Amino acid sequence: MRIAFYAPMKPPDAPNPSGDRRMARLLIAALGRAGHEVSLASRFRVWQGAPDAVRQRRLAALGARLADRLAARWRTAPAGRRPELWLSYHVHYKAPDWIGPAVSRALGMPYVIAEASHAPKRAGGPWAVGHEAAARAIRAADAVIGPNPVDAACVAPLLRDGVRWTALPPFVEIAPLAAAAAHRAGHRRALCAAHGIDPASPVLLAVAMMRPGDKLQSYRVLAAAMARLVERPWTLVIAGDGAARTEIEALFAALPAGRLRWLGERAPDQLAALYAAADLAVWPAINEAYGMAILEAQAAGLAVIAGRSGGVAGIVRDGETGLLTPAGDDGAFADAVADLLADGPRRRAMGKAASATAARDHSLDMAAAKLDATLRAVVLRRRAA
């Protein structure tokens, strides 16, 4: 099937890394693995960090013009070059889809959303323009595919009769992470040698961008939790960078010298070895949708300690593949870290369970099969209507 792919929040080929960009690329890879031909429909980015109704209306007008142009171009294209289905990724009030519904309607093709959220509390407020646009897109969808089960309760009531919200567990490419885990000892030696870490010291790992807002707050909780554990042996390795780095480094300044290693941003192909070298992944996950780094760490055989927020509980099985603590509670987070630092056998057993669960429930092959079945059902339903 020929699929027009669009991500209104950030195009999948955007230069700055993020979990959102990572998931968009994984979706395209999964669709390709299922045998579909995917083309990027537009790089039109509509995301806003702060409400601005005037700018949203301008974006709406520009989106309408872009939709008209795309529809006109594809309407006159040879049949073998026209898309058969439109798929938009991550539609919400800060990044509504101004293009996909209009193009799909003009060409009579199915419109599908992968990851949509609806926030009723935004109705009538400063985000009203984007809120209503996202709701209209959800109502126009022939299917909504959701990696975060928390979204279902508010999205499902907007769907038309016969349209389903379909769960799609978050997924990663398992092979490179499993391969790194198979050479854990070598990766551990290399990390310790490169950064002056005592190999006998437990290595804790946090992988996250350094942005204001929820990421900064997660780092704040992590710093407070680690300050409670200074009497225990550990080294915290932090991989990430961004606009809030100076502020984040200041949060950890009171910790004893030598306890932290700041690695900066790491490319995706460097992270597998880093996960494999660590003993435990730690991330407070304030308002996290689900956490791609959390899932990658588990696929590499790491137990995870994370805050219970968003869809994190959908990928971390509390007590089996890691431990979940109340979001924002640094004391509970510190207690969980202390528990697994003190119990190596339990920590390693959780790591093994994490890698097995990721391979079974969160693989690219799983996603390819699920996406393929969902999209083909959508096409058949449209043809039968």
Confidence of residue 310 (pLDDT cuts 50, 70, 90): confident
Does residue 289 carry a pLDDT above 90? no
Q: Note whether 275 and 239 are within 8 A (CB).
A: no
What is the distance between the terminal CA atoms of the chain, rounded to a whole angstrom? 19
Does residue 20 carry a pLDDT above 90? no
Mean residue pLDDT across the chain: 95
Q: Which two tokens stand for residue 224?
A: 């407070």
Q: Specify which residues 136 forms β-bridges with.
A: none
* Predicted pLDDT at 45: 96
Sheet holding 280-283: strands in order across? 260-264, 235-239, 203-207, 280-283, 304-308, 322-326
Q: How far apart are CA 2 and CA 81, in angstroms?
A: 8
Does residue 218 carry a pLDDT above 90? yes
* Predicted pLDDT at 278: 97
For residue 225, report the phi and psi dihedrals to the nearest 5 degrees: -65, -45
Q: How far is CA 72 from the centre of its chain?
A: 34
Does residue 385 carry a pLDDT above 80? no
Q: What residues contact 39, with CB distance under 8 A and at least 6 apart?
A: 2, 3, 4, 5, 83
Does residue 369 carry a pLDDT above 90? yes
Does residue 375 carry a pLDDT above 90? yes
In terms of Cα–Cα distance, which of 203, 208, 166, 156 is closest to 312?
208
pTM (two decimals)? 0.91
Q: Across residues 370-374, what is the average pLDDT?
A: 97
Does residue 284 carry a pLDDT above 90? yes
Does residue 249 carry a pLDDT above 80? yes
In terms of Cα–Cα distance, which of 250, 195, 197 is closest to 219?
250
Encode pLDDT of 188-199 as tens digits: 999 999 999 999
* Predicted pLDDT at 89: 98
DSSP tag of 318: B
Encode pLDDT of 106-133 as tens digits: 999 999 999 999 999 999 899 999 999 9
* Predicted pLDDT at 257: 85
With a pLDDT cut of 70, the percent of the chain lying above it is 100
Q: Note whether 114 and 90 are within 8 A (CB).
A: yes
Burial classification of residue 181, based on how many CB atoms lie within 10 Å of its CB (0-12 exposed, 13-18 middle, 19 or more buried):
buried
Q: How far apart are CA 24 and CA 90, in angstroms?
A: 9
Does residue 351 carry a pLDDT above 90? yes
Q: Note whether 291 and 327 are within 8 A (CB).
A: no
* Predicted pLDDT at 16: 81
* Predicted pLDDT at 79: 87
Q: How far is CA 186 from CA 67, 199, 216, 304, in A?
A: 52, 12, 32, 21
Q: Note whether 142 and 166 are within 8 A (CB).
A: no
The DSSP result for 89-156, as a single string, is EEEBTTB--SSHHHHHHHHT--EEEEEE---GGGTTSTTHHHHHHHHHHHHH-SEEEES-GGGHHHHG
In terms of Cα–Cα distance, which of 263, 124, 272 is closest to 197?
263
Q: Which two tokens stand for residue 232?
A: 């225990």
Domains in the chain (CATH in brackets) are: 2-171+363-384 (3.40.50.2000), 174-361 (3.40.50.2000)
Q: Across residues 347-373, what is the average pLDDT?
A: 97
In terms of Cα–Cα distance, which of 7, 384, 381 is closest to 163?
381
* Predicted pLDDT at 357: 97
Does residue 303 carry a pLDDT above 90? yes
